[in-house]
Structure 1
Amino acid sequence: MSTIDAASASPAPTAPPGRRAERQKSPRRFRVRRGLLYLTLCALLVVFILPLVWALSGSFKQRGDIFATPPSLIPSPATLENYRNLLTTQPFWSWFAISIGTAAIATVVSVFVCAMAGYGFAKFRFRGKRILFAVMFSSLSIPFAVILIPLFILVVKSGLANPWFALIVPWVAPAFGIFMMQQFIVQAIPDELLESARIDGSSEFGTFRRVVLPLLRPSLGALGVWSFLQSYNSFMWPLVIISNTSQYTLPLGLNILYASENRSYDLVLAGAVLASIPTILVFILLRRQLLEGLVAGAVKG
């Protein structure tokens, strides 16, 4: 028999027994890890969704049944009296309109301003750029409570204490939004694309509006959700700047119901359920842009 025939007739090398055992165990380990991951996610889902389910259940219960023992998630009997009392005895729709209106305006203005500022920091060179960006970025480490009183004095002395204006001021140009837009523009928009638009005769604002903004849709959606939640859920600033009860936002209005002598938990729960509807709708409408922005930031960042 020749050497070639002997080599072909020899049995194929086999893996050591230890490696074969590891290969057999790896699918089992994968299934165990995946099961633990799903179990952890289910536990976190229960933790996050249980307060909302409890609030929804309590909003249909009578006040004496909310804290009954043993607790029950199914109201028996179910009643709409809580919602009826909230909408008829309290200026809920006024609180709701002010919160939605100011949050929507603040979100639109904030997204546009942050996109423009981020575009300037990312694609333009000017004197003092690094110093200005460092000052802006360092403001992220300053708690809002530190600038609360100076901002209040500045707004009042300027004669701009109108609720519809004062409630929007703190959210017009957040440092987080500017930094987020600057980072996304640096990574996602090449300079060659901007140069080609300028060669075609486009102005700087036209380039920003026609070229930059369409490419920023994922990050704009993520920033829009963040800005809306920041303005909509704000409590400290409206508490300082607003003195008229009829001009309260939803967080302040619900706090009045909670801080009253009767502790109107039934009205608070009904108001909390209604107040959560806009945030859920915003997430549903912008969920695609939000997820795309988060994925883009995770991959490119």
Structure 2
Amino acid sequence: MSVPWKAGATPGARTGSGTGHRLGRPLLYLVLIALAVIAVLPLLWALSGSFKTISEIFEIPPRIWPRHATGSNYATVFSDIALPSWLWTSLWVAVVSTVLSVLFSTMGGYAFAKFDFPGKKILFDVMFSSMMIPMTVVVIPLFVEIAALGMGNSYLALIVPGLAPAFGVFMMRQFIVQSIPDQMLEVARVDGAGEIAIFLRIVLPLLRPALGALIVWNFLASYNNFLWPLIVLSDSGKFTLPLGLNSLSGAYTADYGVILAGSLIASVPTIAVFVGLNKQLIEGLTVGALKG
């Protein structure tokens, strides 16, 4: 004879649990749909606004779809302003910064994870504590240091301060501790492999998920950076894309259609990087979950 419910349970409790489960899933879907709409609606409005005139952008009540779509805003972006130059500057600075910062972060994380040296714990604690300090607190001392080194108003000023971010070193250290056993490295050393060969041929291939996540994080941080370039760059010919788009907005007037068109063009590289490294990003944030 089959037992309809476990010992000690009541039919009412079983029914209530099943009802709650059936009601909870549709409610969860509704919440997720609402959040998706909230996230997508501004992007849809920006896309629509990039094909509108200024008067139509501010008409009341607002319309999602333009009455008379125009491509003049995109024509202005490529003909009357230096957006291609701003885009190129942001792209190559972000790529160089990402490559160097990922390399140095991986090397630093590997050193903290697998080597013992004097002051290791103190240095790691200082590095870890630095992540608690907001960028706005150190931006003035950092600018004074960059100016003293003669790198003011230069592309080096955009790249050098982020060569070894504390978050990147910490992330790679945690991933290496969990993913690469000491025995594997010892076997390679016994076989005669040097430390550089071990790092390039054994460590790096095993860090692919973490590297993908770190590449996305570093690229987006450098490409979208606004405050630091605003402080160190004074030559408009060296503006990055965020600074260039900001310069389109004057004290009393702004061509918002052109700004929206430029902003949408600016989002293409970030979307491409995220889509291209989406799998590695998810794996890096899950497999390499941060723990002590």
Residue identity matched to 1:266 = G
Residue 178 of structure 2 is matched in structure 1 by: 187
Number of aligned positions between the proteins: 291
| Distance in structure 1 (CA, Å) of the matches to 2:279 and 2:3 | 51
1:102 pairs with one of 93, 98, 101: 93
Is 1:63 the counterpart of 2:18? The answer is no
- The secondary structure found in structure 2 opposite 1:263 is coil
Preserved contact between residue 128 and residue 166 of structure 2 (Cα < 8 Å) = yes
- Percent sequence identity over aligned pairs: 51
Alpha-carbon distance in 2 for matches of 1:17, 1:145: 59
Contact 2:50 2:260 in 1 (8 A): yes
Runs of 4+, deviation exceeding 6 Å: none
Asked if 1:284 corresponds to 2:275, the answer is: yes
Letter in 2 for 1:277: V
Larger radius of gyration: 1
Q: 1:208 to 1:19 in 2, by over 3 A?
A: same
Tell me what 1:146 maps to.
Answer: 137
Partner of 2:84: 93
Q: Please, which moves more after superposition, 72-81 or 254-263? A: 254-263
Greater helix share, 1 or 2?
A: 1
Whether 2:168 is the aligned partner of 1:177: answer: yes
Give the aligned residue type for 2:217: W
Could you tell me how far apart the structure 2 residues matched to 1:211 and 1:17 are?
55
Matched, 1:212 2:203: yes
- Report the alpha carbon displacement of residue 17 of structure 1 after superposing the two structures with TM: 10
Offset, 1:41: 1.1
Q: Distance in 1 between matches of 2:202 and 2:11?
A: 56
- Measured on the aligned residues, the alpha-carbon RMSD in Å equals 1.9
Counterpart in 2 of 1:229? 220
Q: Distance in 1 between matches of 2:205 and 2:267?
A: 30
For 1:105-184, what aligned pairs fall within 5 Å after superposition? Answer: 105-161=96-152, 163-184=154-175
- Please say if residues 152 and 241 of structure 1, whose CA atoms lie closer than 8 Å, have aligned partners that are also in contact: yes
Q: Secondary structure at the match of 1:297?
A: coil
Question: In the TM superposition, what is the alpha-carbon distance from 1:27 to its structure 2 partner?
Answer: 3.2
**Kept in 1: contact 2:105–2:172 (CA 8 A):** yes
Deviations 1:9-67 (A, max 9, x none): xx666647963333344333222211121111111111111111111110011111012
Shift of 1:268: 0.8
Structure 1 position 239, deviation (Å): 0.7
Bigger CA drift: 279-288 or 239-248?
A: 239-248
Once residues 92 and 290 of structure 2 are traced to their aligned partners in structure 1, the CA distance between those partners, rounded to angstroms, is 35
Rounded to whole Å, the distance in 1 between the matches of 2:150 and 2:115 is: 35
Once the two structures are overlaid, the 10-residue window that deviates more, 289-298 or 220-229, is 289-298
Q: Secondary structure at the match of 1:61?
A: coil
For residue 175 of structure 1, report the CA deviation from its aligned partner: 0.4
Opposite residue 63 of structure 1, the aligned amino acid is: I
Greater mean alpha carbon deviation, residues 41-50 or residues 162-171 = 162-171
TM alignment of 1:5-84, pairs within 5 A? 15=5, 19-84=10-75
The 1:270–1:158 alpha-carbon spacing in structure 2 relative to 1, beyond 3 Å, is: same
Query: AA paired with 2:28?
Result: L
Q: Hey, what's the Cα distance between the residues in 2 that align with 1:276 and 1:28? A: 44
Q: Higher mean Cα deviation, 104-113 or 63-72?
A: 63-72
Which runs of 5 or more residues in structure 1 are unaligned?
Answer: 1-10
Is residue 249 from structure 1 mapped to residue 247 from structure 2 by the alignment? no
> d(CA) in 2 for partners of 1:53 and 1:147?
37
Task: Name the CA distance, whole Å, in 2 between partners of 1:83 and 1:296.
Answer: 42
Aligned partners of 1:187 and 1:300 also within 8 Å: no
Gaps (5+ residues) in structure 2? Answer: none
- Equivalent position amino acid for 1:283 in 2: F
Secondary structure of 1:202 counterpart: coil
AA aligned to 2:97 is A
TM-score, normalised by the number of residues in structure 2: 0.94
Distance 1:122 1:209, change over 3 A: same
- Residue identity opposite 2:103 in structure 1: F
SS in 1 for 2:151: coil
